[in-house]
A = this chain, B = another copy of it.
Amino acid sequence: MTIPRAAKTQRRTRIQEAKEEQILEAALDVFSVSGFRGSTIDQIAEVAGMSKPNLLYYFRTKEAMHRALIDRVLFTWLEPLRAFDAEGNPESEIRSYIRRKLEMARDFPRESRLFANEMLQGAPHVEDELKGPLKQLVDEKAEVIRSWTKAGKIAKCDPYHLIFSIWSTTQHYADFDVQVRAVLGQEHAGAGRFEDAARFLEQLFIDGLKVKPVPDAS
């Protein structure tokens, strides 16, 4: 019988694990550029170096591949935010959060683009995750930030929009990489652009969030 598709078996053989990894790696290449609708199984199969029916032996549908990919990416993608520590020093926490996010944009640009593609299309496959686990995590960290402002450790500001702005500025270097390179030109588009970005963003956020001397009407 050939009925028991890979997914059904209890124990995953080494070969299964390896092939699924190989497929998801190729799928990430393709989905991150063309989005779900714009990607084809044939493309993924070619990148993976396998036949199309062979892909479909491990993942029954195109959606299944995409779903598996999204699930995996979503988890690791939120790790920097999870590491955000309430006990830590606000300035250094924000600083290292920016650093971490920027490192991810540099080291895992495909993952960032996969996620961006999904958002642009209205998150048809992950809306529940956004409204559930993601919102919950952000709510939690927003509360931490709010406590910092209340304690006078950082300037008063909307914690949600602070998080959004860190997300957007850092992911920009992955999602809009072509634009960044084009605008910076050959001279400044080298590997150093991430260091420059880090310096700028740290300055912006740290100084922008410093507690300001109240011009109190006395």
Show the binding face of A for B, using Cβ within 8 Å.
Answer: 32-39, 113, 116-117, 119-123, 127, 130-131, 134-135, 138, 155, 157-158, 160-162, 164-165, 167-169, 171-173, 175-180, 182-185, 188, 196-197, 199-201, 203-210, 212
**Sampled A-B contacts (26; CB under 8 Å):** A32-B120, A33-B121, A34-B35, A36-B38, A37-B37, A37-B39, A113-B120, A116-B116, A116-B120, A116-B176, A117-B117, A117-B120, A119-B178, A119-B179, A120-B120, A134-B182, A135-B185, A138-B183, A160-B188, A161-B200, A164-B183, A165-B201, A168-B172, A168-B176, A204-B204, A208-B208
Q: A178-B127, A207-B207, A210-B207 are in contact. Are A160 and B138 (CB under 8 A)?
A: no
Q: Contacts A119-B179, A157-B204 known; list 9 others, CB within 8 Å.
A: A37-B38, A38-B39, A38-B121, A130-B183, A157-B203, A160-B184, A164-B172, A168-B169, A203-B208
Q: Which of B121, B162, B203, B205 lies in contact with A155, CB distance below 8 A?
A: B203
Whether B37 contacts A204 by the Cβ 8 Å rule is no
Q: Which of B33, B158, B200, B208 lies in contact with A158, CB distance below 8 A?
A: B200
CA gap between A182 and B96 in the complex, in Å: 26
Whether A34 contacts B121 by the Cβ 8 Å rule is yes
Is chain A's binding surface mostly helix, strand, loop or mixed?
A: helix
Please give the distance in Å from A120's CB to the nearest CB on chain B.
Answer: 5
CA gap between A179 and B171 in the complex, in Å: 14
Query: Which B residues lie within 8 Å of A37 (CB)?
Result: 34-35, 37-39
Q: A37-B38, A116-B175, A120-B33 are in contact. Are A127 and B200 (CB under 8 A)?
A: no
Q: Which of B135, B155, B169 lies in contact with A165, CB distance below 8 A?
A: B169
User: Closest 8 CB pairs between A and B?
Assistant: A208-B208, A37-B38, A38-B38, A168-B172, A130-B182, A161-B200, A204-B208, A168-B168
